[in-house]
Amino acid sequence: MNVHSISVIIPCFNEQQVIRETYMRLTRVMQANFSAYELLFVNDGSRDYTLSILKELASQDEHVHIISLSRNFGHQPAVSAGIENCTGDLAIIIDADLQDPPELIPDMVRMYEAEGCNVVYAVRKQRQGETVFKRVTAKWFYRIINYLSEVPLPVDTGDFRLIDRKVIDAFNRLEERNKYIRGLISWVGFKQVPIYYERAERFAGETKYPLSKMLKFARTSLLYFSNKPLRLASSIGIFSVIIALCLTMWVLYTTFFLPDRLVQGWSSTLIVVMFFGGTQMLTVGILGEYLGSIFNEIKKRPEFIVDEKVNTKPLKSNPPA
């Protein structure tokens, strides 16, 4: 199993507590199985000792390559930076906190070879040590995304996956700035195969995905993968107009034929006004979300800015055995 050169992409944000352990577990697995590999750590503007630890590792081990971003851009841009800068025939995207077991990598590569596929995506069998809140939100998140999205997105997958050169090149040609990586990788097509694993607990430290980041993530994945919210807005509009027409008819009818039953309540008026006010705000809001995304895309600001690169040199792939 040493035909391919492999880039392991590891986004890191404030991971000083786990990064050495991650390095050791990855190195053990990679040394035992592959001859040409790089551990491409993307430092996503960490404010702790992550970068100095990485540099220390890089000075001892030439397999350690570092891309350091100029500030915290977020998980998805960090992974994009990795995909853009990796040089292996295959790339593996993995979290720094050891929730994705490095030991699965050889199995993924075997799967890749056996199936002749282009993507091997890891599907969680179980979520250990995650709060009920995280599990429930994740489950609903995928349900809703899948209902709304025009591209089917595999349920219970993170970004832990193997992608080959074809997919890497296709991905790098995508010009959108706000990338929802697992969705886009599914979108590019090719042959994609699942592999099942048990998700472990975070090795140390705490989640770098607070609710605010989760919401931002959900927003991107919705807006960039679906026009259904817009259609929903027009459906709500049509629905409201129909209700309004019915009510008008009822009012006219009572005025002329049942004057003694003429509406007198102000509460119904209030409800109707609030209902239409609400739907209008909602639809304007949905429009605004899309407008905001268009605004962001049109500015064409880069997705991330690289501050420095350490050790990065292209991997040579081995001649076929």
In the complex, minimum distance from the CB of residue 207 to Mg ion, in angstroms, rounded to a whole number: 6
Helices then strands, counting H and E runs in the chain, come out as 10, 8
Subset of 104-133 contacting Mg ion (CB under 5 A): none
Of 97 and 164, nearer to Mg ion (C-beta) is 97
Both tokens assigned to 23 = 């390095």
Of the pair 109, 181, the CB lying nearest ligand UDP is at 181
Cα 252 to Cα 257: distance, rounded to the nearest angstrom: 8
Task: Tell which one of 97, 100, 159, 164 touches Mg ion (CB under 5 A).
Answer: 97
Q: What x/- string results for residues 186 through 215 when contact with ligand UDP is judged by CB under 6 A?
A: ----------------x----xxx------
Q: Which of 17, 33, 72, 317 binds ligand UDP (CB under 6 A)?
A: 72
Tokens of 14: 């404030």
Residue written as token pair 């995506």 = 121
Looking at residues 1 to 20 of the shown chain, list those that interact with ligand UDP (rule: CB under 6 A).
11-13, 15
Which residues have a Cβ under 8 Å from the Cβ of 117 and sit 6 or more positions away? Answer: 111, 190, 191, 192, 193
The reply on whether position 75 binds ligand UDP by CB under 6 A is yes
CA distance linking residue 248 with residue 265, whole number of Å:
15
320: CB partners within 8 A, 6+ apart: 3
Residues in 206-265 at the binding interface with ligand UDP, rule: CB under 6 A? 207-209
CA atoms 216, 91, 89, 57: torsion sign: positive
Partner whose binding site includes residue 4, from ligand UDP, Mg ion, none (CB under 5 to 8 Å by kind): none
Contact between 99 and Mg ion (CB under 5 A)? yes
* Residues with Cβ within 8 Å of residue 139, at least 6 apart in sequence: none
User: Residues 37-56: x/- map of binding to Mg ion (CB under 5 A)?
Assistant: --------------------
User: Which residues, listed in sequence order, are joined to residue 157 by a DSSP beta bridge?
Assistant: 123
Q: Pick the piece of the chain touching Mg ion (CB under 5 A) from 47-55, 94-102, 140-148, 311-319.
A: 94-102
